[in-house]
Structure 1
């Protein structure tokens, strides 16, 4: 308290200077806030790159062929910010906004090509720090539709709420017409989204299928391995600035080490004690809960955004981010490589032998413990890689992403046939297509129920799954 007395005593002498400084700061602050509101298009940088402290908004105007339309003015307003940008034919334009929040993008109809209209003419986007919030507008010919005649769903969703939707850095999907049937373009776009979701789900599910085939355990902690991969990717790419391909290699190693550690500390001792599979499954549930609490503590319960600077890329009439196309290709190549390894290599034949008959495989000189260890390491490594690709493709993730994906992974491997890599691939693609296409005709909150309904119907007809084989009894 004694240190404060001189300051209090001299306060009357400093009062005029303090008042003048505050007045100057007030004028400067008013000038700073007035510039964005009245900023002209030429004064705004349209190449915003998101980082840990930058928030970007990008309007995208496409024609009916999904090609960019240049020369269209789009106003961006919200959170005390207002600006007007003009689209180009070279790629999306993006501007930096002062803070995260909701921004309204409005197309100026006077700048559209003759006899065309924007559908919708206005869109709201949710901007997040470290990401680019994109709002897409489609330019159609003819008069503008009556806004009261057609009700549309707009906006974006994040993988934290929906693993099958584009995140804050992804593309904004086309509007879904509620009052009528979806168009062919909408269905085809959702097919592409379903293939993407299915391939990434298959990469995460194939390890779950192999674990069940060799150990008989349904691992409920497998979903957290996906989150570990996504979180590792966030640290390596966003925090350490490593290239994505180097991060992917490191994520494979990190994921494999977690599987090796789990097998050495938990599963191998329990196997040697002859612990039944049902009790081992309960252990995986406990491990899942423990990992969830750890991951939530590390993330502080907030959404993490993996910066990948997405670029819209159209292939066969389907527009996804370039990162999504690359992730789909990587997932497909890895899954096919695993399938070939299981069928064409010695270690693959050993894995299948242990899965078919553990005692007989041991009698022929195969070490079942070594095979199971390899399966655990491979499964956790593939799940971690899937988590990285999901984070890159959808832009963001949260600590409970594994819980949201786990039921779909179980449905995929059961639908395709337990214990087979090709079964996990087929089942996951079917789940992805059903989930995405169902969103066109039913509310998105219940579309995952359609995948489970398909699973029930298939199992009633073919209990072993699509590519599974019947078990011999006796």
Structure 2
């Protein structure tokens, strides 16, 4: 039996007139009969003064823009379905959905026999939405909320055209944006590994820490955004320093083995994650930070926050590159990363360099937490960092363990692969494709793209 995979693709059904302002929010999805897209199915969105109908295109995609946050009714005109294709549950014909924290909400219309034949509830997959919920579409702009989407998946980047070229361009831009944000956090991982040999599995919690502090200062305390950013960065740097001072420096002094330290990082990750849940709860919370208007650049639609986060990420990454190559501390960091014993014999204070690396890692990853919570739809959740930890390590390993520039290259590749793959496969499988690329690269170049062979093993 057929089914629908509805999702947050941010693809409009038709080009926007030049005089029409792009809608800041949208409901969208894909209608398929099995694996075949269905054209000409009418979907209607009503509520808050909106009464718009869109028809699915040749690729089965539909999208209806709405001007403001609120609750809307999304209905499918079953008379426009091809013969033999029926809804599995008649109650799915018309449902209410709320849009607010994210700019895009995916809607599922599951097809199949009412008795629960093939295409059961567990088989429905939304592009950025929930899976197996019997038709509840996910919020594509909330990719890091546990089961409700995918980290960094659907963003506010979409297209004003339904052709494949525009969709591909949109995914490339979104992938670069996502990859640059991953790179900010991934560089911290690779610097820590290069100077200490430790793979820090609690690194995702540094990103979550930055997002939570930004949420508290902007939304709960109502500080101006620039003050909140400065405070969050300072707190993140201090948190990185605290990691080394309170845990990892004492472990180094006791010459604890790397395997034991690895277990410590896993335990620290679990402890911090559930401490965050205790502090803010287990839900997803919106930030009171304006993401700006929707911009139309050629066929691509982007929110102002996407543009701002990309520019900031590029500037910060350039600054980090200059720091590592042009300053004495940066050169000392690279020396310790290459050979700590030789660096110590040359008069470099290895412990001081490691402490600086931890502070820098906290600063970069906390900044990534700010941009990431802003990037995914101005939302924060207690495990947001953990949900993208695998992608961070994939980027670091792909680029080359211990290489900061390799982490940048690897993270951008992972970001591009995960985004572009959603044009061809269900978004729930995007990470499988990213990890497949990682496996293939490591089979032929185990040290990664920019890594060195002596760092392996």
1:264 to 233, 239, 245: 245
Partner of 2:438: 455
Q: Is the 2:153–2:418 contact (alpha carbons within 8 Å) kept by the matching residues of 1?
A: no
How much is the aligned-residue C-alpha RMSD, in angstroms? 3.4
User: 1:443 Cα shift?
Assistant: 1.1
Q: Is the 1:76–1:83 contact (alpha carbons within 8 Å) kept by the matching residues of 2?
A: no
1:387 to 355, 363, 369: 369
| Matches of 2:22 and 2:196, distance apart in 1 | 61
User: 1:66 Cα shift?
Assistant: 7.5
When normalised by structure 1's length, the TM-score is 0.70
Partner of 1:281: 262
Asked whether 1:294 is paired with 2:275, we answer: yes
Deviates more, 1:233-242 or 1:437-446: 233-242
1:71 to 1:198, Cα distance in 2 relative to 1, 3 A: closer
For residues 115-153 of structure 1, give each alpha carbon's deviation from its aligned partner in whole angstroms, at most 9, with x where no partner exists.
xxxxxxx99884256x365579xxxxxxxxxxxxxx996
| Matches of 1:271 and 1:308, distance apart in 2 | 41
Asked whether 1:244 is paired with 2:229, we answer: no
Q: Equivalences for 1:339-354 in 2 at 5 Å?
A: 339-354=321-336
Asked whether 1:378 is paired with 2:360, we answer: yes
Partner of 1:4: none
Partner of 1:355: 337
| Matches of 1:125 and 1:221, distance apart in 2 | 39
Deviates more, 1:299-308 or 1:454-463: 299-308
Asked whether 1:218 is paired with 2:194, we answer: no
| Matches of 1:439 and 1:318, distance apart in 2 | 17
2:346 to 361, 364, 374: 364
Instruction: Kindly tell me the number of residue pairs found equivalent between the two proteins.
Output: 368
Partner of 1:435: 418
User: 1:350 Cα shift?
Assistant: 0.7
1:299 to 1:472, Cα distance in 2 relative to 1, 3 A: closer
2:174 to 166, 184, 193: 193
Partner of 2:152: 164
2:403 to 400, 406, 420: 420
| Matches of 1:176 and 1:61, distance apart in 2 | 6
Partner of 1:254: 235
1:212 to 1:67, Cα distance in 2 relative to 1, 3 A: farther
Partner of 2:34: none
1:445 to 1:70, Cα distance in 2 relative to 1, 3 A: closer
Q: Is the 1:60–1:134 contact (alpha carbons within 8 Å) kept by the matching residues of 2?
A: no
3-state SS of the aligned residue for 2:451? coil
Which structure 1 residue ranges, 5 or more long, are not aligned?
Answer: 1-58, 87-91, 107-121, 137-150
User: 1:271 Cα shift?
Assistant: 0.6
Partner of 1:104: 74
| Matches of 1:472 and 1:85, distance apart in 2 | 61
Asked whether 1:205 is paired with 2:186, we answer: yes
User: 1:464 Cα shift?
Assistant: 1.2
User: 1:189 Cα shift?
Assistant: 0.7
Q: Is the 1:324–1:393 contact (alpha carbons within 8 Å) kept by the matching residues of 2?
A: yes
When normalised by structure 2's length, the TM-score is 0.72
User: 1:420 Cα shift?
Assistant: 1.9
1:163 to 1:345, Cα distance in 2 relative to 1, 3 A: same
2:320 to 338, 343, 350: 338
1:362 to 1:60, Cα distance in 2 relative to 1, 3 A: closer
3-state SS of the aligned residue for 2:302? strand
| Matches of 1:332 and 1:259, distance apart in 2 | 22
Larger radius of gyration: 1
For residues 320-369 of structure 1, give each alpha carbon's deviation from its aligned partner in whole angstroms, at most 9, with x where no partner exists.
21111111111111112111111111001110111111111111111111
| Matches of 1:316 and 1:197, distance apart in 2 | 20
3-state SS of the aligned residue for 2:185? helix
3-state SS of the aligned residue for 1:127? strand
3-state SS of the aligned residue for 1:314? strand
